[in-house]
Amino acid sequence: MTPEEKKEQEKQYQKAYKLANKEKIAEQGRKYREKNKEKIAAKKHADHVKNYVPKPKPPKDETPRHKQKKRAEYMCRYREEKKKQIAITTAKYGKKYRAENKELLQEKHKKYQAKYVANGTVKERSRIWRDANREFYKQKMKEYYAQNKDKILERLKQYTEENKEYIRERQKAWGKRTGKSRLYSSKRRARERSAGGALSKDLVTRLMQLQKGKCRACGKPLGEDYHIDHIMPLAKGGPNVDSNCQLLHSRCNISKGARDPYEHAQRLGMLFI
């Protein structure tokens, strides 16, 4: 047997052994690695340090950050230049997408709306937007109203019809809060406008002091439920000025109605002429 042949035989033998004892060898390897964990890690690290070749640093205007910035600038310029075209394309594809996914989008929108309406975000955002764009909003609302007057009035009528109780509660609360009459209707405001003049903002406070907190009609404390009353009613041509105003209980004010003060006093038995 030549040395070459002997070597070959040895090789074949080893191969056969490995094949026959696969599991055993693997187990041995695992055990060895487990036992010499730290040693292996140290060697790995040493090799890494030994073989480390630092990557050449890219020139300054080739760094990833610089590239990103350049790309952002380019996109910005591109969008600015092709604004119109992009808008058209977006609208076109958006329309197509919306048409194809109508139900999905509706479902999504419903969920979105429910979530943000419930936590008040929608209301708050609308308010902020309206505050920031007050003039624009006013103008838009005017235009919208002019174009949809019938529809709006119809809807309002329906809403009022369906929410009578709620509206009454709200008006009561508002009256209590502001000290203004719940008869402070649009009709009344129109009358005040046509009567000219304007009431001072602190009128209620001043009248309250002047009247010592008592109703001018019945003399009892005003409490929370009172109105600003025009002594000579606007309907009878009284002026809309501070000196024509007094505070009355709601009930006293309503019973006074639009009679003039003379008639009213007579009805209450204050005058005997």
Q: Which is nearer to Zn ion, 137 or 225 (CB)?
A: 225
Q: How far is the CB of 230 from Zn ion (least distance, A)?
A: 16
# chain residues binding Zn ion, by CB under 5 A = 5
Stretch that binds Zn ion, among 22-30, 44-52, 96-104, 207-215 (CB under 5 A): 207-215
Q: How far is the CB of 218 from Zn ion (least distance, A)?
A: 3
Per CB under 5 A, 207 contacts Zn ion: no
Stretch that binds Zn ion, among 27-35, 97-105, 185-193, 214-222 (CB under 5 A): 214-222
Stretch that binds Zn ion, among 78-86, 168-176, 189-197, 211-219 (CB under 5 A): 211-219
Per CB under 5 A, 264 contacts Zn ion: no
Q: Which is nearer to Zn ion, 179 or 195 (CB)?
A: 179
Question: What's the rounded Cα separation, in Å, for the pair 238 and 225?
Answer: 24
Q: How far is the CB of 135 from Zn ion (least distance, A)?
A: 43
Per CB under 5 A, 218 contacts Zn ion: yes
Per CB under 5 A, 247 contacts Zn ion: no
Per CB under 5 A, 217 contacts Zn ion: yes
Per CB under 5 A, 249 contacts Zn ion: yes
Per CB under 5 A, 215 contacts Zn ion: yes
Q: Which is nearer to Zn ion, 29 or 221 (CB)?
A: 221
Question: What's the rounded Cα separation, in Å, for the pair 83 and 173?
Answer: 51
Q: How far is the CB of 204 from Zn ion (least distance, A)?
A: 16
Q: Which is nearer to Zn ion, 195 or 248 (CB)?
A: 248
- The residues in 163-182 that bind Zn ion, with binding defined as CB under 5 A, are none
Q: How far is the CB of 248 from Zn ion (least distance, A)?
A: 6
Q: DSSP readout, the chain? A: --HHHHHHHHHHHHHHHHHHTHHHHHHHHHHHHHHTHHHHHHHHHHHHHHH--PPPPPPGGGSHHHHHHHHHHHHHHHHHHTHHHHHHHHHHHHHHHHHHTHHHHHHHHHHHHHHHHHTTHHHHHHHHHHHHTHHHHHHHHHHHHHHHHHHHHHHHHHHHHHTHHHHHHHHHHHHHHH---TT--HHHHHHHHHH-----TTHHHHHHHHTTTB-TTT-SB-TT-EEEEESS-GGGT---SGGGEEEEEHHHHHHHTT--HHHHHHHTT----
Q: Which is nearer to Zn ion, 228 or 252 (CB)?
A: 252
Among 207, 250, 252, 256, binds Zn ion (CB under 5 A): 252
> Residue 210 phi/psi, 5° resolution?
-60, -40
Q: Which residues contact 222 (CB under 8 A, 6 or more apart)?
A: 208, 211, 213, 214, 215, 247, 249
Site residues, Zn ion (CB under 5 A): 215, 217-218, 249, 252
